[in-house]
Chain A
């Protein structure tokens, strides 16, 4: 059983559409991170959220940490082909503990 469940696993949309990716768990996390990975490269850190209810924006990307710190979402507005990639969420149960990654959401944005 995955500690962090991501949905959907695959998402194929047209340029200009909006989308939301979810990351859920039954565990409480001290922090949660989102990464984006392109083929043949390592994941790149997008954001870290640490406070329940926290919302962070990065251009067209909006990240939210659930009030109970068990879930998170990533919303992309007006998706572009350059947003194509594997989006990963990762959580830490406590400070100093290892990160656990979700299985990822493979996003394809078609021109």
Chain B
């Protein structure tokens, strides 16, 4: 089975712009979660989607949004980028929920200048 894929792998944006990141889960996995990883804060949960519905949400501002399509692929969007949004954004998929283990993609490295 192919693993979780994320595109693009690297991205450079300027403050005020918006960005869309994409994630394709492992075939058959219906749950997709997004995380932000920074050296100071570690892995922070953004949101989780299951069957096209947002099931859980972390403590991030409304500039961070996501969606899931009928084929379980997911996108996350960050509007009005700030310097502090520079991070590694990770997507993880699992069969039903993440409590039995999640499978991560390689991440998208976002740099905001």
Chain B binding surface, main DSSP class? strand
With A42-B90, A45-B101, A104-B42 already in contact, the answer to whether A99 and B107 are too (CB < 8 A) is no
A71-111 near B? 1/0 per residue, CB < 8 Å: 00000000000000000101010011111111110000000
User: Is A42 in contact with B45, judged by CB distance below 8 angstroms?
Assistant: no
**Complex-state Cα separation, A40 to B48, whole angstroms:** 23
- Asked if A42 contacts B92 (CB within 8 A), the reply is yes
The total number of A-B Cβ pairs within 8 Å is: 63
User: Cβ of B102 < 8 Å from any Cβ of A?
Assistant: yes
Residues of B within 8 Å of A31, CB to CB, are 99-100
B56 contacts the other chain (CB 8 A): yes
Contact B99 A30 (CB under 8 A): yes
B97 interface hit (Cβ, 8 Å): yes
The 8 A CB mask of B21-57 against A (1 = contact, 0 = none) is: 0000000000001010000001101001000000110
Question: Could you tell me if A41 and B107 are in contact, using CB atoms closer than 8 angstroms?
Answer: yes
13 contacts between A and B (CB under 8 A): A31-B100, A35-B104, A40-B107, A41-B106, A42-B105, A42-B107, A43-B43, A43-B104, A48-B101, A95-B97, A98-B98, A101-B35, A104-B43
B42–A48 touching, CB < 8 Å: no
Taking a contact as CB atoms closer than 8 A, the residue among A35, A40, A95, A99 that contacts B33 in the complex is A99
Q: Is the CB of B43 within 8 A of A88?
A: yes
**A92 and B99 within 8 A (CB):** yes
Residues of B within 8 A of A40 (CB): 106-107, 109
